[in-house]
Structure 1
Amino acid sequence: MSNHATDEDTRYEAVRSRDARFDGVFFFAVETTGIYCRPSCPAVTPKRANVRFFATAAAAQGSGFRACRRCRPDAVPGSAEWNVRADVVGRAMRLIADGVVDREGVAGLAARLGYSARQVQRQLTAELGAGPVALARARRAHTARLLTQTTELPITEIAFASGFASVRQFNDTIRAIYASTPSQLRAAAPRGGHPRRTATPGAGIPLRLAHRGPYQAGYVFDLLAHEAVPGIEEVSGPPGARTYRRTLRLPYGTGIVAVGERPGTARTATGAHPGGWLDARLHLTDPRDLTTAVQRLRRLFDLDADPCAVDERLGADPRLAPLVAARPGLRSPGAADPEELAVRALTGPVEAERLVRRYGKALDAPCGSLTHLFPEPAVLAAAEPGGTLGALTAALADGAVRLDPGADRDAAQDALLALPGLDAPTAAEIRARALGDPDAAPPGLDIPDTWRPWRAYALNYLRAAGEWELR
């Protein structure tokens, strides 16, 4: 979709028609009000002469614009462009979303990308209008606003859960972006006739994970239920109202997360899909892991995808057209833990369950059937060093194979194929799911070039229709 929004006239038409498909693809600001919005903002369309366009919310904020209180532009799904792009800007955006700047600073981000901090700053600023610090700040502000307005968590806890280094920094940022104090922001929260969802140490943190366009939740939950590894995952409840729960190893601690299946949204009167959300609840041993945990769930459920762009391309293919019409908005599920996914892609679910029972770290406080974390690569490499599993886990442990959000996908696949016994279909599965490559496909399949750059989605359509199996 971002390819269609390449000039300002096209963007203004999207704003004029309040086209939600462009939410997150770009932002617009109104010079006469000092406010920036998402394209689908329901407010009166401003005059073209008063509008400025920005690639990111951070760029709009850096130019002195405040977030619209009506359309809440900071709450839109992330741009699907960052999942598609394999260049340094795309890789940097995926790392920033994962919280790398908050944890390791700009120097850590640059080191992961293999560039100097100055080069990263220059490239991001030139293309996106904001550097890594500003982009990370915008993400922290969104998390803070969301927690302030949807939970009863203390303001101090929200500040650190959002990634701010101090309460003062948190307060200054909220004032600058929302023209409100945290207390005023909380008091102004839209209620919609419903009480605010509570967040306590026992109840966890409730969140809504937004997506654009239609979303075939049933397919994703079917896949997760089929693949679930006892001890670290479970899917419970009747079809259409299932809950997926799993454990997570996070940078500062551990977590147990739950995501609910939600019926698809109906088309609007104009035939468009307005988007929607999945309800989630997070139990974290350290609130600083909130942003990272949310982003990993977004990758697992493929919530930043642009289904309109995917379905437009694939729906033009005679073979795929009826499949797209039957399941519009089908996603290509990713991974909550890329290294875990790589091991599971190699071993299969039965062997993965054995590894969990034998080498997984037991939770300090088990929750029902969730009792362990998936074993770390270094643990597996030391415990079972032989064969392909030993080679893979050793390579993951020492960094010879990198699967983090900023990894170079081609380099990672080459490193995987260099491991003894790891075949091309397994490497392709790891690339598609652990690295989130929307165009990944195993070799040897008769796949037309017209399916690019969405071959991974095309294969999911075929699999949903029973026309193709992953392994």
Structure 2
Amino acid sequence: MDDNTRYEAVRSRDGRFDGVFFTCVLSTGIYCRPSCPARTPKRENVRFQSSAAAAQAAGFRACRRCRPDAVPGSAEWNVRADAVGRAMRMIADGVVDREGVAGLARRLGYSARQVQRQLTAELGAGASALARAQRAHTARLLLQTTQLPITEIAFAAGFSSVRQFNDTMREIYARTPRELRREHASRTPVRAARGADGTSTQGRVALRLAYRGPYAAREIFDFLARRAIAGIEEVTGEPGARTYRRTLRLPYGWGVTEVEERTPPGGTWLDCRLTLSDLRDLTTAVQRTRRLFDLDADPGAVAERLAADPLVGPLAARRPGLRSPGAAEPGELAVRAVLGQQVTVSAARTLGGLLVAAHGTALPVRDGGLTQLFPEPGELAEAALAELPMPAARRAAVRTLCGALAEGGVVLEPGVCRDETERALLNLRGIGPWTAGYIRMRALGDPDVFLSGDAGVRHGLLAVAASGASDAAWRPWRSYAVHHLWNAPPAPAPNRAPNPVTNPVTHPMTDPMTDPMTKEPRP
């Protein structure tokens, strides 16, 4: 996009570009999201930045009306596999807050100077500035949704000193932390420090997770509900008004995230509540929840590419805003992918429940139906797994995978090189193309994975009379095409004996054509 195209998006208040670029207004000294409801500034008074951090570094303050620091992340970082895209995924997960710029550079395999140079050239701000902008947003959330002392909020948000915290908040929001809290309390009272049951709510944070519409919430909650493992996940309520809840193992402790299917008419967010044993995990917990629900996707770009295809286009039109769910815990998803080889979704869920019951870490306090954290890879690598009723070869594959995860032979985290990770997975005995592709699609959030050997995909292609279709036209959104094919209506039954393959809508993992060594679907 050039600046004139960006200005037209601002004039039309196009929410599709929220988070893609930011509007800086010279006459007021503030920066906004493109969809800001304020009066459109004159073209000569507008400059554009590709990140909130760059706008802040240029001396602009965040708009009070549109809150540009709370926009969805750019889908570009999920698509891009280069160093900048990988760095942005790591920064969002809190790597700079925990390990500094040097830690980020070490994970990327570059020098700190190279990382700073590449980020500044692309985004107008380096890793420190990008992380600082994220810390400020985290601090604002804590100020406005908890009664934590301001000093504790400063360190929970990742600031190294109270003075740095105060200076940053005044610079970005043109208000002190106390003024931010007082202003919000005048509109929405801060929750009491203790809940109705007498338990402390100091570690509970309520927030809205923004997304670009449309959003096919029903399909996402259906997908997660069918796979919810007892003890670590639960879905309550009726369709249209459900709540998804799950436990999280986080860098500083544990947490519980719960997301509501209900959204206000015309809303562009999901309501979320987080319970955290350590509030320093807030940024990481938010990002993991966003990845699970694929909230940084660009449904407009996906629809534009898929709608032009005569085969998948009708499916995309049927379900606008269909997302490709990620994973809250990548290592857990990898283990579940192996458990799901050649069994139904229901059977895989049962196996997962047995695994959690035998090896999971108990929560200090039961939270509804949530009682456990998913087992750590190191423990499963040494376990016999005799409680799992499945072939010995698959138990061995689980142990092999967990050993590689524990020892660092396979790394599943935001920002890793997806190609290298897939190659490392394929080198493990018992991991074939389907499992590696499924892990890449969900655990690594790759939007461009096509599971050619998947039974559900093949049945979806049959439903649209495209068994020999090429997936090249769906790049770089092939993962979304896979979900559309999984949700395709069943093809008309032929006049012959019933096919024993399970219905792909409820079970996209079963395939009777397997490789005898890996028990994997053949391409």
State TM-score, norm by structure 2: 0.84
Q: Per the alignment, do residues 375 and 120 of structure 1 end up closer, same or farther by CA in structure 2, a change over 3 Å counting?
A: same
Larger radius of gyration: 2
Specify the alignment match of 1:269 in structure 2: none
**Where in structure 2 are the equivalents of 1:151-170 lying within 5 Å?**
151-170=146-165
> Which of 42, 48, 66 does residue 71 from structure 1 map onto?
66
Structure 1 position 322, deviation (Å): 2.5
CA contact (8 A) 2:276 2:282 kept: yes
Q: In terms of mean alpha carbon deviation, does 179-188 or 290-299 score higher?
A: 179-188
Specify the alignment match of 2:473 in structure 1: 450
CA contact (8 A) 2:61 2:173 kept: yes
CA contact (8 A) 2:451 2:482 kept: no
Specify the alignment match of 1:272 in structure 2: none
Deviations 1:370-425 (A, max 9, x none): 11110111111122496211111111111111110011000011111111111111
Specify the alignment match of 2:321 in structure 1: 329
Q: Tell me, yes or no, if structure 1 residue 313 matches structure 2 residue 295.
A: no
CA contact (8 A) 1:214 1:265 kept: no
Q: Tell me, yes or no, if structure 1 residue 143 matches structure 2 residue 138.
A: yes
Q: Tell me, yes or no, if structure 1 residue 470 matches structure 2 residue 470.
A: no
Structure 1 position 448, deviation (Å): 2.5
User: Could you say what secondary structure the match of 2:271 adopts?
Assistant: strand
**Where in structure 2 are the equivalents of 1:336-355 lying within 5 Å?**
336-348=328-340, 349-355=349-355
Q: Tell me, yes or no, if structure 1 residue 391 matches structure 2 residue 400.
A: yes
Q: Report the AA paired with residue 465 of structure 1.
A: A
Q: Report the AA paired with residue 325 of structure 1.
A: A
Q: Report the AA paired with residue 473 of structure 2.
A: T
**Where in structure 2 are the equivalents of 1:348-387 lying within 5 Å?**
348=340, 349-384=349-384, 387=396
> Which of 267, 278, 283 does residue 286 from structure 1 map onto?
278
Deviations 1:425-463 (A, max 9, x none): 111110000000001112346443111111101111121
Specify the alignment match of 1:296 in structure 2: 288
CA contact (8 A) 2:22 2:34 kept: yes
CA contact (8 A) 1:361 1:373 kept: yes
Deviations 1:177-204 (A, max 9, x none): 1111011122333866x54555656342
**Where in structure 2 are the equivalents of 1:10-409 lying within 5 Å?**
10-189=5-184, 195-196=189-190, 202-203=200-201, 204-263=204-263, 265-266=265-266, 276-348=268-340, 349-384=349-384, 387-409=396-418
State how far apart, in whole Å, the 1-side matches of 2:80 and 2:227 are: 28
Structure 1 position 350, deviation (Å): 2.4
Structure 1 position 154, deviation (Å): 2.9
> Could you list the runs of 4 or more consecutive aligned residues of structure 1 that deviate by over 6 angstroms after TM superposition?
none
Q: In terms of mean alpha carbon deviation, does 460-469 or 403-412 score higher?
A: 460-469
State how far apart, in whole Å, the 2-side matches of 1:425 and 1:137 are: 39
CA contact (8 A) 2:449 2:479 kept: yes
State how far apart, in whole Å, the 1-side matches of 2:107 and 2:62 are: 31
Q: Per the alignment, do residues 199 and 318 of structure 1 end up closer, same or farther by CA in structure 2, a change over 3 Å counting?
A: farther
State how far apart, in whole Å, the 2-side matches of 1:234 and 1:172 are: 42
Q: Report the AA paired with residue 373 of structure 1.
A: L
State how far apart, in whole Å, the 2-side matches of 1:163 and 1:265 are: 35
State how far apart, in whole Å, the 2-side matches of 1:195 and 1:461 are: 42
User: Could you say what secondary structure the match of 1:71 adopts?
Assistant: coil
CA contact (8 A) 2:36 2:66 kept: yes
State how far apart, in whole Å, the 2-side matches of 1:264 and 1:408 are: 38
Q: Tell me, yes or no, if structure 1 residue 435 matches structure 2 residue 438.
A: no
Q: Report the AA paired with residue 488 of structure 2.
A: A
Structure 1 position 299, deviation (Å): 0.2
Deviations 1:218-271 (A, max 9, x none): 1111111110111111111111111111111000001112111125854xxxxx
The sequence identity of aligned pairs, in percent, is 66
Q: In terms of mean alpha carbon deviation, does 20-29 or 307-316 score higher?
A: 307-316
Deviations 1:249-306 (A, max 9, x none): 000001112111125854xxxxxxxx51111111111110011001000000001111
Q: Tell me, yes or no, if structure 1 residue 424 matches structure 2 residue 447.
A: no
Residue correspondences, number: 457
Q: Per the alignment, do residues 141 and 238 of structure 1 end up closer, same or farther by CA in structure 2, a change over 3 Å counting?
A: same
Structure 1 position 326, deviation (Å): 2.1
CA contact (8 A) 2:263 2:269 kept: no
Q: Tell me, yes or no, if structure 1 residue 412 matches structure 2 residue 412.
A: no
Structure 1 position 323, deviation (Å): 2.0
State how far apart, in whole Å, the 2-side matches of 1:180 and 1:354 are: 52
CA contact (8 A) 2:247 2:254 kept: yes
User: Could you say what secondary structure the match of 1:60 adopts?
Assistant: helix
User: Could you say what secondary structure the match of 1:234 adopts?
Assistant: strand
State how far apart, in whole Å, the 1-side matches of 2:190 and 2:214 are: 26
Q: Report the AA paired with residue 354 of structure 2.
A: R
CA contact (8 A) 1:199 1:206 kept: no
Give structure 2 stretches of 5+ with no counterpart: 341-348, 386-394, 459-468, 491-503, 510-523
Deviations 1:286-341 (A, max 9, x none): 11001100100000000111111111211122222222222111110000000000
User: Could you say what secondary structure the match of 1:283 adopts?
Assistant: strand
Structure 1 position 157, deviation (Å): 3.0
Q: Report the AA paired with residue 202 of structure 1.
A: S
RMSD: 1.8
CA contact (8 A) 2:263 2:271 kept: no
Q: Per the alignment, do residues 190 and 451 of structure 1 end up closer, same or farther by CA in structure 2, a change over 3 Å counting?
A: farther
State how far apart, in whole Å, the 1-side matches of 2:318 and 2:49 are: 35
CA contact (8 A) 1:360 1:375 kept: yes
CA contact (8 A) 1:217 1:264 kept: no
Q: Report the AA paired with residue 317 of structure 2.
A: A
